[in-house]
Amino acid sequence: MRRALECIAADGARMRGVLHEAHPGRYVPGEAALLLPGLVGTRVGPARIQVEMADLLASHGISTMRCDPVGTGYSDGDPGSTTVASIVRDVGDMLAFLRDTLGAERFLLGGVCRGAKGALAASMVHPEVTRLLLVSCPPFRSEDLGKRAARRRRYHLRHYARQLAKPGNLRRLARGEIHLGLVAKTVTRPMAAGALDRMTLGEGQWEMSSLRARTLFLYGEGDPDYRDSLDTYRTELAGKDETVTFRTIPEAGAGFYGGDWRTEAVAAVEKWLGGSADV
């Protein structure tokens, strides 16, 4: 069962979310989950992946709230003021809400892209977060966003060149079956509208060695930033093989927009929830 709800941030802003109530027959007492959106998304997630993740968690007995922090999605606030630090503060208010509403004492915290980064940072200051589900999580560091956009543009150009070389795609192009407008938009605007203005640099340093939560990092290999992110976290979390799992899905983009890719991502999460070492 799902129901809309609101929790109030410390500054009085309303943060709007949806609660997926745990299946009664599999209810896990004392645990709840919180899922956070990406930079320009909402609590729904790309291709509704967070809705599917929340349904999955609820089916495993974990009541799950998908909620937009202040300045994102359906919640109050100025998008330009939202940073990783502000998301960490909002997570504290959301966890307190779940604690009061559901009696939860420990939490699974997750997110997509910047939401994943906010979840990871929040776990460092909230020891009651015992599990982390991080989808397309970027690393913690300042980066020239113009360079990041250029890297994505090069990736997309190589990707479409390879696709064009595949048998049958030239005929599809001639028949007008390939949407050239979308291809051109992806190449000329490789980052979401407003992203260059809204991403905040200098997000602070977070000591990865203090990570205690059991964590799944999930990436699509079609994400132009995945290799940099994966290598960074593998280096920073070396020696935590018993608690940290990395899973990549070939060809999938950062948002897992293809139906098969999204299904594979959800299946990987389900194995991880069940404690499988083969995620």
Domain map of the chain by residue range?
Answer: 2-142+204-273, 145-188
Tally DSSP H helices, then E strands, for the chain. Answer: 9, 8
Please give the DSSP secondary-structure letter assigned to residue 104.
Answer: -
What is the model's pLDDT at position 108?
A: 98
pTM, two decimals, is 0.80
- Read off the pLDDT of residues 173-201 as tens digits, 9 standing for 90 and up: 666 655 555 456 555 655 443 333 333 33
| Of the candidates 113, 108, 99, 102, the residue with the CA atom closest to the CA atom of residue 42 | 113
Give the rounded percent of residues in the chain with a pLDDT score beyond 90: 56
What is the model's pLDDT at position 41?
A: 83
Q: Are 32 and 86 within 8 A, CB to CB?
A: no
Amino acid 129 reads V
CB contact set of 80 (below 8 Å; sequence gap of 6+): 71, 197, 198
| Of the candidates 84, 102, 81, the residue with the CA atom closest to the CA atom of residue 13 | 81
In whole angstroms, what is the distance from residue 122 CA to residue 45 CA? 19
Q: Match domain 2-142+204-273 to its CATH number in 3.30.9.10, 3.40.50.150, 3.30.1050.10, 3.40.50.1820.
A: 3.40.50.1820
Of the listed ranges 1-5, 161-165, 258-262, the least confidently predicted one is 161-165
pLDDT class of 233 with cuts at 50, 70, 90:
very high
In whole angstroms, what is the distance from residue 203 CA to residue 205 CA? 7
How far is CA 121 from each of CA 116, 170, 206, rounded to the nearest angstrom? 9, 46, 7
In whole angstroms, what is the distance from residue 68 CA to residue 30 CA? 23
